[in-house]
Amino acid sequence: MEFITQPWPWYVAGPIIAFIMFLLYYFGERFGVSSNLETFCTIGGAGKFIDYFKIDWKKNTWNLIFVLGAILGGFIATHWLSSSEIVDLNPQTVQDLAAIGVKNAGDSYLPDEIFSVDAMLSFKGFLILILGGVLVGFGARWAGGCTSGHAIVGLSNLELPSLISVIGFFIGGLIMIWLILPLIF
């Protein structure tokens, strides 16, 4: 049990993710989470205004069920399979974050400066959360995939479009972390 409740190392997580991809294809489907966002739009009635969303969303039900499972998995792991909330970070990371105004880095999974209810209810905090979400959703659909569809499936399948997308993920990520984030807090 000790092994389960400790944080899992990369060499456990990576192979399990590959196995998840394997299972989804073995069951006749695919691995890609961001397409669910389009399904949400269709269910919400976006097809009435935009033809792009006029799809038979019921064929994506399996993926919605996968997402439901992911939510349950997050609940189960947090409540029954974890002994600590601490994320063991490189001291340099903690120091770098303190320098840009993010305190107590690693005391829990997420920084309060972005994810606490107080932050969410502030104008700036709400803007950060919604803008981050819009960028992720818009970018993923424009690129035709996110970390699962491009970085895992696409790279495994030696797809050039996925390599270009992952390079894009890094260009955007590096600009955010090195240039923009230090100005936010």
Partner 1 sequence: MKYIKFLFVGIIFGIVMTKAEIISWYRIYEMFKFQSFHMYGVIGSAVVLGTVIMFLFKKGIVKTFDGNQILVAPKKKGFARNLLGGTLFGLGWALVGACPGPMFVLLGKGVISILVVVFGATLGAFLYGAFKNKLPH
Q: Which of residues 103-162 bind partner 1 (CB under 8 A)?
A: 105-106, 109-111, 114-117, 119-120, 125-126, 128-162
What's the CA gap between 11 and 133, in Å, rounded?
Answer: 29
Least distance from partner 1 to the Cβ atom of residue 180, Å: 8
Using CB under 8 A as the binding rule, the residues of this chain from 35 to 54 that contact partner 1 are 36-38, 40-41, 44, 46, 49-50, 52-53
Provide CB contacts within 8 A for 171, sequence distance 6+. none
Closest C-alpha among 9, 1, 33, 64 to residue 136: 33
* 185 touches partner 1 by CB under 8 A: no
What's the CA gap between 53 and 163, in Å, rounded?
Answer: 27
- Pick from 9, 56, 99, 123 the residue near partner 1 by CB under 8 A: 9
- Pick from 1, 168, 183, 185 the residue near partner 1 by CB under 8 A: 168
Residues that contact partner 1, how many (by CB under 8 A): 129
Fill in the per-residue mask, 59 to 88: x = in contact with partner 1 (CB under 8 A), - = not in contact. --xxx-xxxxxxxxxxxxxx--xx----x-
Residue 126 near residue 120 (C-beta atoms within 8 A): yes
When the beta carbons of 72 and 101 are compared against partner 1, the nearer one is 72
When the beta carbons of 56 and 92 are compared against partner 1, the nearer one is 92
Provide CB contacts within 8 A for 185, sequence distance 6+. 100, 101, 102, 113
> Other C-beta atoms within 10 Å of 138: how many?
11
Cβ burial of 149 (10 Å; 0-12, 13-18, 19+) is buried
When the beta carbons of 50 and 101 are compared against partner 1, the nearer one is 50
Least distance from partner 1 to the Cβ atom of residue 165, Å: 4
Least distance from partner 1 to the Cβ atom of residue 122, Å: 11
